[in-house]
Amino acid sequence: MARCASIILAAGQGTRMKSKKPKVLQELLGKPMVEYVVEAAEAAGSDPILVVVGFGGDQVVETLGDRVEYVWQREQLGTGHAVMMAKEYLAGFDGDVLILYGDTPLLSVETLTALIEARRENGAAAAVLVARLDEPGGYGRIIRDTLGNVCGIVEAKDATPDQKLICEVNTGIYVFEAEPLLKALDRITPVNAQGEYYLTDVIKILVEDGLKVTGVVTDGTEEIMGPNDRVQLAQTEAYLRQQINRKWMLEGVTIIDPESTYIGSQVTIGRDTTIYPGTFLNGKTVIGEDCVIGPYTRIVDSTIGNGTEIQFSQIMGATIGSDNHIGPYAYIRPGTVSEASVKFGDFVEVKNCRIATGSKVPHLTYLGDAEVGANVNIGAGTITCNYDGVNKHRTIIKDNAFIGSNANLVAPVTVGAGATVAAGSTITKEVPDGALAVARSRQEVKTNWCSPKERLKKTDN
């Protein structure tokens, strides 16, 4: 297969976003738009991938790192000028050059592959992705000759009234043969309504040189969406979300209300899982089969075992076993690992803990840096006092231990297997296997006392 390079134009500011960030770093489902484009270029087998940066370029470099190569365009003098900046990187390159925009995140790899194939099959020097729009607005218009071949692109601002009526528009996505592109770029001039170097002028030059340009009509106009303001950004994200939800529903996941379910692009979900409204699944999250997730639950970078139920809770960086019951109102933080059939109930916070099979943490508890064995019961109001102000210490609770309500376990400390901690105890020393630890002051009962009210009555008389 012939080689393919990609040039991603990402130097513009995107003024209408009214942001400190360049437009291409605005996020969809938590991921910058330009990353979607880089992924599509990678999937199409491009090497190198050159990103043209300008406004906020340092931020783009920081975001994408060494995954791509960078070309600086210090002044934004037009799309043709942007591609010219990449010239030296392409000197001697023999293959296809894809031109993409960093702010067209929904473009699929299938479309890019079809474009590359169309150029090759037609023996054309370039293929342009075109769209048919009822309202062509500010898009460049596609001019065709009598045979239907593309012979030019006219910008809306330069178009005659007749040309303005053309509904076939330039999406701005092209594939060129490298050598004719580089030669034609030398010949474009900024003599037009906007005083810019138009990449679109390359098309006319190629045709004048007797080369062929083919147009590929896209059937999905959503794919070419390039949001210009935050209203369009929300619309684009909604479309992306619908696509993802639809995919999981077709894979056997029940989503009660797709409109209010937010699933990230890297998430995977097992069959027969049901997702209730107000659920956010983000990052590299893996949900098993037969789970019930939500309502109102957020899960980030976590793995959830089969058959687990989670409601009104937040889970991040955790590995949850099968058949767990979590929530309502549980907060499971990074480093938490639970085995099968564990329960985390209401107002329970757990951080960096291992909890073995069948243990229960039903309510009002903080467990931090703890190792909890199997079939342990943790009473309401239990706190692992894991932090001395400088260091974090571990609490070990062995199999079958019973922690009474409102206990403080001052780490480092160990509660032995089958041991019991009495309610209200503050445990500072090891509790041996099977022992009972009571660490609270004894109750005193005074029967012969006089209440302040009674004392008052006596003095009145």
Applying CB under 6 A, among 152, 172, 227, 264 the residue interacting with ligand UD1 is 172
Q: Strands 126-132 and 49-53, how do they pair?
A: unpaired
Bin 404: left if φ > 0, else alpha if -120 < ψ < 50, else beta.
beta
As measured in angstroms, the least distance from the Cβ of 135 to ligand UD1 is 13
Closest chain position to Ca ion (CB): 381
Helix (H, G, I), strand (E, B) or coil at 64: helix
The one of ligand UD1, Ca ion, none whose footprint includes residue 381, by CB under 5 to 8 A per kind, is: Ca ion
Q: Which is nearer to ligand UD1, 159 or 397 (CB)?
A: 159
* CA-based torsion, 66, 72, 73, 79: positive or negative: negative
Of all helices (H) and strands (E), which one includes residue 42? Answer: helix 33-43
Instruction: Rule CB under 6 A: say whether 200 interacts with ligand UD1.
Output: yes
Angle at 299 between CA 297 and CA 304, to 5 degrees: 110
Residue recorded with tokens 């660490």: 439
Residues 111-150 as x/- pattern, contact with ligand UD1 by CB under 6 A: ----------------------------xx----------
Applying CB under 6 A, among 32, 56, 102, 345 the residue interacting with ligand UD1 is 102
Burial class (CB in 10 A: 0-12, 13-18, 19+), 31: middle
Residue by residue, DSSP assigns 303-332 as EE-TT-EE-S-EEES-EE-TT-EE-SSEEE
CA–CA separation, 336 vs 177, rounded Å? Answer: 53
Instruction: Rule CB under 6 A: say whether 169 interacts with ligand UD1.
Output: yes
Query: If you ran DSSP here, which 8-state letter would residue 434 be given?
Result: T
Residue type, 15: T
As measured in angstroms, the least distance from the Cβ of 57 to ligand UD1 is 10
Instruction: Rule CB under 6 A: say whether 77 interacts with ligand UD1.
Output: yes
Q: Which is nearer to ligand UD1, 81 or 398 (CB)?
A: 81
Applying CB under 6 A, among 57, 105, 226, 327 the residue interacting with ligand UD1 is 226
Residue 325 falls in the annotated catalytic set: no
Q: Which listed range, 72-80, 240-248, 366-374, 378-386, lies at the site for Ca ion (CB under 5 A)?
A: 378-386
The one of ligand UD1, Ca ion, none whose footprint includes residue 327, by CB under 5 to 8 A per kind, is: none
> Which residues, 392 to 411, sit near Ca ion by CB under 5 A?
406
CA–CA separation, 425 vs 145, rounded Å? Answer: 89
Instruction: Rule CB under 6 A: say whether 218 interacts with ligand UD1.
Output: no
Q: Which is nearer to ligand UD1, 169 or 206 (CB)?
A: 169
7: CB partners within 8 A, 6+ apart? 50, 52, 71, 82, 83, 86, 97, 98, 99, 100
The one of ligand UD1, Ca ion, none whose footprint includes residue 437, by CB under 5 to 8 A per kind, is: none
Query: If you ran DSSP here, which 8-state letter would residue 446 be given?
Result: -
Q: Does residue 347 contact residue 312 with C-beta atoms inside 8 Å?
A: no
Q: Which two tokens stand for residue 35?
A: 């990353």
Q: Which is nearer to Ca ion, 321 or 404 (CB)?
A: 404
Which of 81, 325, 363, 393 is labelled catalytic?
A: 363
Q: Which is nearer to ligand UD1, 152 or 368 (CB)?
A: 152
Residues making contact with ligand UD1 (CB under 6 A): 9-12, 52, 73, 76-79, 81-82, 101-103, 139-140, 153, 155, 169-172, 198-200, 226
Residues making contact with Ca ion (CB under 5 A): 381, 406
The residues annotated with a catalytic role in the active site are 363
